[in-house]
């Protein structure tokens, strides 16, 4: 019996050695990090993956772009459990990284603690609003309500039935609320301007359980709205929202609006209905801040990233020029605050 | 026992429908259509459970089966730009998962709950590991208009224009019911699930029949997965089954392990979800969205609490079969 | 404590090794050195003081949620609701943690734990009562209750119990007097978890209540014949399971998260099911299972950083370990009789 055991053990170890020989060595080529010459950027994702087609991905793309621009090196760690934020941040901090990007508002506390602990490292917190400014922690925040408002304004202009809606994740996530309520107010603003009496935009939320990962529900809900005369629907809820967009794409005559990034590229199946997306340009913001960190111009406190509407793409010819002009005229006013969105949390 | 559950259900459904119809015909048909769309994956998944458990095997791994089948259905459908191929691949994948469960539960006599959990974890891990972006299918399975049916005033709008898997799924439900209760296969299967040793004595091969049924059931689970990625949604995302496989277990038990009962339960749950969304669309009530969202769950529990009666699963389920040594 | 028979330890050990072998193949396929990966994994999880501290911190809620599932399994009930019960407990203890001001630690902590246990038990009670008195299967109710509890907790943390002056959905931070400290670097909660494990083991083995639970777990009719009130024992088991899950949530809140914030307790209830199954439904068995899983999860960050292996590898390894521990393959290979422990036999017996 012992002989059998020994045989098994030997076989396993040999096999593993064999496998080890087959694969490349594990250590990454960032051994330079920590030295004077290297500029290393670390990204800690919110729970989720870097290829989630959503804000983790945008942040990572920005990190990579920034790394290329400054001739540095970028690496990410995917967070599985929010309680691991500090540990994940610590991996980069303890290994001489110069910039650490933390994605998502849930990470705000862990980032603050780390910033205090490592005063020489620059921290960039995506979606983390800084109440009090800390010199080495920059909050990359986006006025999502403005993007939502513009999308709503456009919707109010292009709708024929007057019924607009939004399929959302859960409103306990601040960006979703900003997007959704901004959208609602934007539609109302347009209706007001046109002198029309449109019903208020209907915001439909998923249950908190699996809120951002239930595209089947998103699709069914969108279908339900469509069959009741809704003709512009905003999908703002990760994969749940994407499900809505995909369903709307199958209904001729209906418009859908994407969120976070220009979903024309990230969700090509939605193109038939995707007139625009309410974007928050995370990648641009991250890249800009990385460059600022490299040249020393980065400051603590809040850095307001860009928001806006994605290009109309194929819808450019289908939207009346008058409407496009109105949106173009309103955009700077909303962005600089002269036209308030009316969203207050 | 079964009668007591059905009446409040049917009455409830009719009342809800009447309420919405009185308000607005369009809304009522819209909600009902949505109900079917939401119910279908649950119904198919519940069929998996019914078929397995009636034959004596507990299948907790429906969620994993759906997930991995949705994955293969989507990616192979995308690679070969052939959605129908995708569906077939999905069914095949599902049946392989069924076969794996059968192997673990029947031949290796492992604890069936554990076997199911293993399937789920494996499916989640593998699909996450192997997931790649930038794949698209040629197109989802398009809705079908059924000629005469679609002309009927109310029912037409509700029952027509669903996708092929939906109609096939309904067919499966009816076929399974028929097969279980009206054919000798069904009799043998149920016998194996209730009194395997007696069935064995009567000449039924318990092992073979269980293997067969669990594998076929897995295929149905694969169809459910293919429905999600190829008909309902049109993409695959990690974990996007969002717990439907587990809800289906509840629905199977709600439906008393009877295909038609489970289908009714699935419709009920789907309708509750559609009504929930409609309440938010109408902004009828001023309560926070979280509370509106728990409506389907509350309703399910309330209906079950009212319609008392002991739930009796197939007697021999979960117990690995050992031939009596003569 | 009596010594475990050799095969009781050998098979699980061998299972881990074999699982690691197959996991190693998947790692190698990614182009990464599996031996180095495992080296990093074990070193981080078990071979450094800091590492052990994190491992035990992660193992703590797993032990407790594993116990919650296990004790119900013993009674023949499948408690999938551990997640919901855990969240109830987490929220309740967070509230008790911030609401009461000026209490000494010795009172505040037990009080908050009590809140956690009570509300966890409450969530489980609904399922237990419905099963006992109306025959509603606990699988249905616990699945439904999970979603309901998450939704209700979400609402409570976003409106009445929300931390003022900021937009996030969470409760205010708990008072310092409610924080559970570390003892020599090890979270005190871990010792509480061990204590519960031993207590439950002793309960099942040496008390009448334990006997009743085991009896109805084996066969409800036998229980009835023996004059046991099946209804009462059912409810009792669910209450015990629920309160332990609630305490799991409470300890997480009081020692680690410091407040209730949805998403910070994700997955613990479901991992508890895996722990209970790995531990074969045995209150003591859940301890090594929880430490193993806790260790793997604790090392995930470093493994990712140093080797680039994606975090899913932990789940794949877990599935493989669970498989090899329970499938009779290894036992046959070693020519030993494999004890096929049927932990559950379906939805009821």
Instruction: Compute the distance between CA of residue A100 and CA of residue A96 in angstroms, rounded to an integer.
Output: 10
Mind giving me the DSSP string for C118-181?
HHHHHHHHHHHHHHHHH---HHHHHHHHHHHHHHHHHHHHHTTTPPTTS-SS-PPPPPGGGPPP
DSSP letters spanning A151-184: HHHHHHHH-SS--EEEEES-TTSHHHHHHHHHHH
Return all residues near A78 (Cβ < 8 A) that are at least 6 apart.
Answer: A45, A48, A49, A50, A56, C304, C310, C311
Residues whose CB is less than 8 angstroms from the CB of residue B65 and which lie 6 or more positions away in sequence, other chains included: B48, B94, B97, B98, B119, B123, B218, B221, B222, B224, B225, B245
Question: Is CATH 3.50.7.10 what the domain over A40-142+283-304 is classified as, yes or no?
Answer: no
Reported as a pLDDT band with limits 50, 70 and 90, residue A73 is very high
Chain B: closest CA distance from residue A203 (Å): 7
Q: Identify which of C54, C167, C257 has the shortest CB distance to residue A87.
A: C54
Chain C residue with the nearest C-alpha to that of B57: C346
Of A16, A24, A345, the CB nearest to C35: A16
CA A27 to chain centre: 30
Nearest to B242 among A208, A213, A220 (CB): A213
In this model, does residue A240 exceed pLDDT 60?
A: yes
C347 vs B114, B253, B305: nearest CB: B253
The DSSP output letter for A259 is E
Residue C346 lies in a domain: no
Average pLDDT value for residue range A271-287: 95
Cβ contact, residue pair A223, B37, below 8 Å: yes
Interatomic CA distance for residues B228 and B244, integer angstroms: 11
Chain B residues touching residue A173 (CB < 8 angstroms): none
Q: Cβ contact (<8 Å) for A24 and C31?
A: yes
CB contact under 8 A, B37 and A219: yes
Question: Has residue C73 been placed in a domain?
Answer: yes
Interchain CB distance below 8 Å, B317 and C159: no
String of DSSP letters for B101-158: HHIIIIIS---HHHHHHHHHHHHHHHHHHH--SS---S-PPPPB--TTGGGSHHHHHH
* Spatial separation of the C-alpha atoms in residues B57 and B210, rounded to whole Å: 8
Q: How many CB atoms lie within 10 A of CB A15?
A: 14
Question: Could you tell me what percentage of chain B is helix, strand and coil, using 3-state DSSP and rounding each to the nearest 5?
Answer: 75, 0, 25
Interface of B with C in 216-245 (CB under 8 A): 243
Cα C8 to Cα B321: distance, rounded to the nearest angstrom: 24
Q: Give me C167's structure tokens.
A: 């937009």
Q: Which of B58, B119, B129, B272 to mutate to test the interface with C (most CBs of C within 10 A)?
A: B129
Contact A23 C267 (CB under 8 A): no
Within-domain flag for C347: no
CA distances (Å), origin B94, targets A86, B123, B207, B223? 40, 11, 20, 7
Neighbours of B202 (CB within 10 A): 10
Chain B residue with the nearest C-alpha to that of A247: B233
- B residues 56-95 lying closer than 8 A (beta carbon) to C: 58
* Share of chain C residues as helix, strand and coil, in percent rounded to the nearest 5: 70, 0, 25
In a domain, C243, yes or no: yes
SS (H, E, C) B252-303: HHHCCCCHHHHHHHHHHHHHHHHHHHHHHHHCCCCCCHHHHHCHHHHHHHHH
Check if the beta carbon of residue C186 is closer than 8 Å to that of residue C251.
Answer: no
Q: Is the pLDDT of residue A49 over 90?
A: no
Q: In the predicted model, is pLDDT for residue C112 greater than 50? A: yes
- The nearest CA of chain B is from the CA of A165 a distance in Å of 8
| Inside any domain, residue C230 | yes
C-alpha–C-alpha distance, residues C126 and C141, integer Å: 8
- Please say if the pLDDT value at position B52 is more than 90: yes
pLDDT at B324: 61
End-to-end CA, chain C: 30
Indicate the domain borders of chain A.
Answer: 40-142+283-304, 144-280+312-336
B61-118 pLDDT tens trace: 999 999 999 999 999 999 999 999 999 999 999 999 999 999 999 998 888 988 999 9
pLDDT tops 50 at residue A22? no
A246 neighbors A178 (Cβ within 8 angstroms): no
Rounded Cα gap, residues A293 and C157, in angstroms: 36
Confidence of residue C267 (pLDDT cuts 50, 70, 90): confident
**pLDDT (tens digit per residue) in A144-170:** 999 999 999 999 999 999 999 999 998
Residue B307, pLDDT > 90, answer: no
Task: Report the CATH number at residue C232.
Answer: 1.10.3470
In a domain, residue C1? The reply is: no
A160 vs A230: CA distance, rounded Å: 9
Contact C134 B121 (CB under 8 A): no
Residue pointed to by tokens 């205010």 = C172
Instruction: Give chain B's domains with CATH numbers.
Output: 2-18+33-131+163-306 (1.10.3470)
- What is the tally of structural domains in chain C? 1
What pLDDT is attached to residue A52?
A: 82
Contacts of residue B299 in chain A, CB cutoff 8 Å? none
Which chains have at least 3 CB atom pairs separated by less than 8 Å from chain A?
B, C
Q: Which residues are CB-neighbours of A330 under 8 A, at least 6 positions away?
A: A150, A153, A339
Domain assignment present for residue C345? The answer is no
Q: Which residues in chain C touch residue B319, judged by CB atoms under 8 angstroms apart?
A: 342, 345-346
Class for the domain spanning A144-280+312-336: alpha beta
CB within 8 Å of B247: residues ≥ 6 apart: B42, B269, C143
Residue contact A207–C306, C-beta within 8 A: no
Residue C307 sits in which domain range?
A: 6-333
- Asked if residue C344 is part of any domain, the answer here is no
CB contact under 8 A, B304 and C134: yes
- pLDDT tens per residue across span B223-279: 999 999 999 999 999 999 999 999 999 999 888 899 999 999 999 999 999 989 998
Residue C90 neighbours by CB under 8 Å, 6+ apart: C116, C153, C249, C250, C252, C253, C257, C260, C265
* Subunit contact B125:C315, Cβ cutoff 8 A: yes
pLDDT beyond 80 at A16: no
pTM: 0.90
């Amino acid at each position: 019996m012992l002989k059998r055991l020994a045989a098994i053990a030997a076989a396993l170890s040999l096999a593993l050695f064999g496998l080890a020989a087959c694969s490349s060595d594990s250590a990454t080529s960032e051994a330079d990090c920590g030295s004077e010459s290297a500029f290393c950027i670390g990204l800690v994702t919110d729970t989720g993956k870097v290829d989630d087609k959503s804000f983790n991905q945008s942040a990572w793309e920005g990190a990579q772009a920034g790394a290329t621009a400054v001739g540095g090196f970028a690496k990410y760690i995917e967070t599985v459990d929010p309680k691991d934020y500090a540990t994940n941040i610590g991996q980069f901090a303890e290994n001489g990284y110069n910039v650490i990007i933390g994605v998502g508002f849930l990470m705000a506390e862990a980032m603050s603690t780390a910033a205090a602990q490592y005063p020489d490292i620059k921290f960039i917190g995506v979606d983390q609003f800084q109440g009090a400014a800390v010199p080495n922690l920059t909050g990359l925040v986006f006025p999502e309500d403005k993007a939502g408002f513009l999308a709503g304004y456009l919707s109010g202009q292009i709708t024929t039935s007057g019924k607009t809606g939004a399929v959302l994740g859960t409103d306990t996530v601040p960006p979703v609320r900003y997007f959704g309520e901004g959208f609602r107010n934007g539609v109302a603003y347009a209706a007001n301007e046109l002198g029309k009496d449109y019903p208020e935009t209907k915001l439909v939320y998923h249950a908190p359980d699996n809120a951002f990962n239930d595209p089947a529900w998103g699709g069914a809900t969108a279908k339900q709205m469509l069959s009741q005369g809704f003709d512009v629907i905003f999908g703002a809820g990760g994969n749940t929202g994407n499900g809505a967009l995909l369903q709307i794409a199958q209904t001729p005559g209906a418009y859908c609006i994407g969120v976070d990034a220009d979903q024309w590229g990230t969700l090509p199946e939605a193109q038939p209905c995707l007139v625009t997306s309410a974007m928050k340009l995370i990648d641009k913001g991250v890249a800009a801040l990385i460059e600022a960190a490299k040249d020393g111009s980065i400051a603590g406190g809040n850095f307001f990233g860009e928001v806006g509407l994605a290009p109309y793409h194929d819808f450019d010819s289908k939207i009346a020029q008058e409407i496009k002009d109105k949106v173009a005229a309103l955009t700077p006013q909303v962005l600089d605050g002269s036209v308030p969105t009316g969203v207050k949390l | 026992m079964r009668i007591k559950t059905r009446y409040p259900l049917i009455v409830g459904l009719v009342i809800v429908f009447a309420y919405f119809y009185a308000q607005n015909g369009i809304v009522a048909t819209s909600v009902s259509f949505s109900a079917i769309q939401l119910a279908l994956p649950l119904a198919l998944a519940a069929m998996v459970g019914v078929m397995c458990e009636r034959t004596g095997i507990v299948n907790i791994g429906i969620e994993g089966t759906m997930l991995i089948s949705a994955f293969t259905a989507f990616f192979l459908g995308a690679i070969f730009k052939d959605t129908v191929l995708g569906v077939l691949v999905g069914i095949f994948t599902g049946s392989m998962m069924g076969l794996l469960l059968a192997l673990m539960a029947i031949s290796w006599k492992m604890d069936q709950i554990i076997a199911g959990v293993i399937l789920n974890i494996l499916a989640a891990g593998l699909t996450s590991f192997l997931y790649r972006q930038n794949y698209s299918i040629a197109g989802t399975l398009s809705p079908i208009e059924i000629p005469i049916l679609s002309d009927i005033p109310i029912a037409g709008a509700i029952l027509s224009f669903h996708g092929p898997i939906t109609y096939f799924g309904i067919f499966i439900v009816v076929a399974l019911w028929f097969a279980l209760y009206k054919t000798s296969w069904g009799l043998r299967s149920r016998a194996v699930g209730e009194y395997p040793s007696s069935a064995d004595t009567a000449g039924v091969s318990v092992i073979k029949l269980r293997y067969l049924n669990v594998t076929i059931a897995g295929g149905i689970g694969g169809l459910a997965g293919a429905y999600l990625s190829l008909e309902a949604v049109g993409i695959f995302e990690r974990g996007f089954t969002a717990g439907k496989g587990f809800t289906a277990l509840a629905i199977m038990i709600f439906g008393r392990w009877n295909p038609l009962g489970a289908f009714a339960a699935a419709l009920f749950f789907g309708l509750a979800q559609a009504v929930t969304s409609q309440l938010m669309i109408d902004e009828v009530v001023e309560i926070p969205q979280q509370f509106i969202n728990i409506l389907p769950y509350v309703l399910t529990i309330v209906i079950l609490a009212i319609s008392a009666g002991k739930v009796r699963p197939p007697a021999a389920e979960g117990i690995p079969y050992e031939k009596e040594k003569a | 404590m009596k010594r475990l028979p050799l095969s009781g330890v050998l098979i699980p050990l061998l299972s881990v090794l074999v699982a690691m072998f197959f996991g190693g193949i998947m790692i190698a396929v990614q182009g990464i050195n599996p031996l180095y990966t495992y080296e990093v994994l074990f070193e981080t999880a078990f071979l450094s003081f800091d590492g052990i501290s994190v491992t035990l911190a992660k193992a703590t809620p797993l032990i407790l949620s594993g116990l919650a599932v296990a004790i119900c399994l013993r009674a023949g009930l499948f408690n999938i609701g551990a997640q919901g019960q855990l969240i109830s407990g987490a929220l309740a203890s967070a509230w008790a943690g911030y609401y009461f001001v000026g209490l000494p630690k010795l009172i505040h902590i037990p009080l908050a734990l009590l809140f956690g246990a009570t509300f966890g038990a409450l969530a489980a009670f609904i399922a237990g009562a419905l099963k006992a008195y109306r025959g509603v299967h606990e699988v249905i109710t616990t699945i439904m209750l999970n979603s309901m509890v998450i939704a209700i907790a979400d609402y409570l943390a976003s409106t009445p119990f929300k931390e003022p002056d900021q937009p996030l959905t969470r409760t205010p931070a708990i008072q310092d007097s409610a924080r559970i400290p570390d003892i020599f670097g090890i979270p005190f909660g871990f010792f509480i978890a061990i204590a519960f494990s031993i207590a439950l083991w002793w309960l099942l083995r040496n008390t009448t209540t334990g006997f009743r639970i085991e009896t109805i777990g084996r066969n409800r009719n036998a229980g009835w014949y023996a004059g046991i009130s099946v209804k009462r024992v059912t409810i009792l088991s669910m209450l015990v399971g629920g309160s332990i899950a609630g305490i799991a949530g409470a300890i997480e809140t009081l020692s680690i998260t410091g407040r209730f914030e949805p998403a910070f307790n994700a997955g613990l209830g479901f991992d508890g099911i895996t722990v209970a199954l790995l531990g074969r439904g045995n209150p003591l068995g859940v301890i090594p299972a929880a430490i193993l899983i806790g260790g793997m999860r604790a090392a995930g960050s470093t493994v990712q950083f140093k080797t680039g292996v994606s975090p899913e590898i932990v789940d794949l390894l877990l599935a493989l370990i669970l498989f090899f521990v329970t499938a009779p393959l290894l036992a046959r290979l070693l020519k030993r009789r494999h004890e096929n422990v049927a932990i559950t036999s379906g939805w009821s017996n």
